[in-house]
Amino acid sequence: MTASSPQALHLIARPAGEPKDSDFELRPVPVRELAEGEARVRVSHVSIDPAMRIWMTEQKSYWPPVALGEVMRAAGYGQVVESRNARLPVGTWLSGMTGITEMLYTDGRGLRPVGSGEAPDPARILHLFGATGLTAYFGLKEIGQPKAGETVVVSAAAGAVGSTVVQLAKAWGCRVVGIAGGPAKCAQLIEEFGADAAVDYKAGEVGRALSTACPEGIDVYFDNVGGDILDAVLKRLRMHARVVVCGGISQYNATSAPKGIVNHLALISARARMEGFVVIDYLQRAEEAIAAMAPLVASGRLKGKIDVLEGIARFPEALRRVLSGGNVGKQVLALG
Ligand SMILES: NC(=O)c1ccc[n+]([C@@H]2O[C@H](COP(=O)([O-])OP(=O)(O)OC[C@H]3O[C@@H](n4cnc5c(N)ncnc54)[C@H](OP(=O)(O)O)[C@@H]3O)[C@@H](O)[C@H]2O)c1
């Protein structure tokens, strides 16, 4: 394989605990002639998502596991560099589930054209106007149903989905409390994303800190982490509260049975609702979310911070960053 040969990253072992470099292997993408109807796409950027850790297990989820030996599944975008498909002219940028590969052969199915010429902005296409932004928008609006004046609490609040939820809830007139790890991320929540208060879960005593930050209780909890933080929130729900179950990252590297919640009976006395959702169910409504968020982005009230690592070989490191809180904003991997 020469230095310029395109490569793809394959899953070769199911990680136990934190994913290791040896769970993956870079293999050359066989270079071949295009068949009629095909295009060759140079993949430029891929999104690094916590859910990838679940796709690497045998666990049943909304998508099947990635099989051992397969190219690792990922959302991304790239540009057509050669084509035998009139609908995919050279220069077209395509977005969708590209996988972690520098080169993709495609007939265009499952990929969406997103312009030609100038490269798309990863902060928009993979973050605010991509699956991350749609997750935040529809999870908060449809499941959380926040009303102006209510208290919204968000976990992993300095991350990609979380920081978008914080800013949307503020824009919709709520009082917002973000939970994040460490003083730097907590300061960022208030100073950059406009949260009213921040709770550093790594400082301990999350329950007490939540009581101080939310003296009237919690109307909406947007949960990205599960585990002990979810339990601490459940004890502080207001009447008719809504708990949006978006993710449970505190459990994704678990090597024993995931930690269940113990305070679920608090849902009874609060007449509260706890509901999960998956963003793919809302993809057909993407334009609605983008139209609602675009003016906030244009006015600077909705910021999309991204954290870019370069090089396909750094995928395991990028995933570990997301799973351990090393990322500052939406984690993206630039390929090739
Ligand atoms: N339901 C859906 O359709 C859907 C779609 C997309 C994403 N999600 C979920 O949304 C969540 C956020 O995803 P994202 O892409 O925006 O990632 P992200 O928030 O940018 O990155 C993950 C963050 O989780 C925090 N974290 C890691 N381990 C933790 C722990 N043990 N306890 C508390 N926080 C921890 C870290 O922040 P700290 O430094 O603050 O610890 C880390 O930065 C994930 O659970 C993901 O699975 C769900």
Could you read off the pLDDT of 267-304 as tens digits, one per residue?
999 999 999 999 999 999 999 999 999 999 999 999 99
Quick one: DSSP state of residue 32? -
**322: Cβ below 6 Å to ligand 1?**
yes
* Number of Cβ atoms within 10 Å of the Cβ of 217: 16
| DSSP H stretches of helix in 192-226 | 206-213
Please give the pLDDT value at position 257: 86
| DSSP H stretches of helix in 12-77 | 51-55
**135: Cβ below 6 Å to ligand 1?**
yes
Could you give the number of structural domains in the chain?
2
**249: Cβ below 6 Å to ligand 1?**
yes
| DSSP H stretches of helix in the chain | 51-55, 122, 131-138, 160-171, 183-191, 206-213, 227-234, 266-269, 286-298, 315-324
Rounded to the nearest angstrom, the distance between the alpha carbon of 114 and the centre of ligand 1 is: 27
* Nearest-CA residue for atom 29 of ligand 1: 250
Q: What is the mean pLDDT of residues 98-115?
A: 96
**304: Cβ below 6 Å to ligand 1?**
no
Q: How far apart are the first and last CA of the chain?
A: 14
Give the domain CATH number at 109.
3.90.180.10
Asked, for residue 290, whether it belongs to a domain, the answer is no
CA separation, residue 159 to residues 37, 192, 214, 236, 281 (Å): 40, 12, 21, 23, 22
For residue 96, the Cα-to-chain-centroid distance in whole angstroms is: 14
**Atom of ligand 1 at shortest distance to CA of 276?**
1
Please give the pLDDT value at position 61: 87
Is the pLDDT confidence value at 251 over 60?
yes
Is the pLDDT confidence value at 181 over 80?
yes
Ligand 1 pocket, mutate which of 161, 251, 309 (most atoms under 8 A from CB): 161
**Average pLDDT, whole number, for the chain?**
96
**65: Cβ below 6 Å to ligand 1?**
no
Asked, for residue 299, whether it belongs to a domain, the answer is no
Please give the pLDDT value at position 319: 98
Asked, for residue 126, whether it belongs to a domain, the answer is no
Question: Same domain, yes or no, for 15 and 113?
Answer: yes
Question: Same domain, yes or no, for 14 and 77?
Answer: yes
Question: Same domain, yes or no, for 221 and 265?
Answer: yes
Question: Same domain, yes or no, for 239 and 317?
Answer: no
Please give the pLDDT value at position 2: 46
Asked, for residue 125, whether it belongs to a domain, the answer is no
pLDDT digits (tens, 9 = 90+) for 49-64: 999 999 999 988 889 9
**74: Cβ below 6 Å to ligand 1?**
no
**49: Cβ below 6 Å to ligand 1?**
yes
Question: Same domain, yes or no, for 277 and 317?
Answer: no
Question: Same domain, yes or no, for 45 and 173?
Answer: no
Fill in the amino acid letter for 294: A
Q: Which residues of 163-173 are buried (b: 16+ CB within 10 A; e: fewer)?
A: bbbbbbbbbbe
Question: Same domain, yes or no, for 92 and 46?
Answer: yes
CA separation, residue 120 to residues 115, 123, 124 (Å): 8, 9, 8
Question: Same domain, yes or no, for 186 and 92?
Answer: no
Give the domain CATH number at 220.
3.40.50.720
pLDDT digits (tens, 9 = 90+) for 203-233: 989 999 999 999 999 999 999 999 999 999 9
**Atom of ligand 1 at shortest distance to CA of 161?**
16
Asked, for residue 244, whether it belongs to a domain, the answer is yes
**219: Cβ below 6 Å to ligand 1?**
no
Question: Same domain, yes or no, for 116 and 256?
Answer: no
Note down the domain range covering 219.
131-281
Is the pLDDT confidence value at 3 over 60?
no
Asked, for residue 187, whether it belongs to a domain, the answer is yes
Rounded to the nearest angstrom, the distance between the alpha carbon of 148 and the centre of ligand 1 is: 25
Rounded to the nearest angstrom, the distance between the alpha carbon of 247 and the centre of ligand 1 is: 7
Sorting pLDDT into bands at 50, 70 and 90, what band is 114? very high
Question: Same domain, yes or no, for 84 and 139?
Answer: no
Asked, for residue 286, whether it belongs to a domain, the answer is no
Is the pLDDT confidence value at 1 over 60?
no
The residue to which tokens 């708990």 are assigned: 243
* Global pTM exceeds 0.95: yes
The residue to which tokens 């991320």 are assigned: 185
Strand 103-106 vs strand 76-83: parallel, antiparallel, or unpaired?
A: unpaired
Q: Could you list the beta-strand ranges (E) of the chain.
A: 7-11, 24-28, 39-47, 76-83, 92-96, 103-106, 111-116, 151-154, 175-180, 197-200, 218-223, 237-245, 273-276, 306-310, 330-334
CA separation, residue 146 to residues 65, 102, 167, 185 (Å): 34, 41, 13, 24
**246: Cβ below 6 Å to ligand 1?**
yes
Question: Same domain, yes or no, for 76 and 116?
Answer: yes
Asked, for residue 29, whether it belongs to a domain, the answer is yes
Question: Same domain, yes or no, for 179 and 275?
Answer: yes
pLDDT digits (tens, 9 = 90+) for 79-93: 999 999 999 999 999
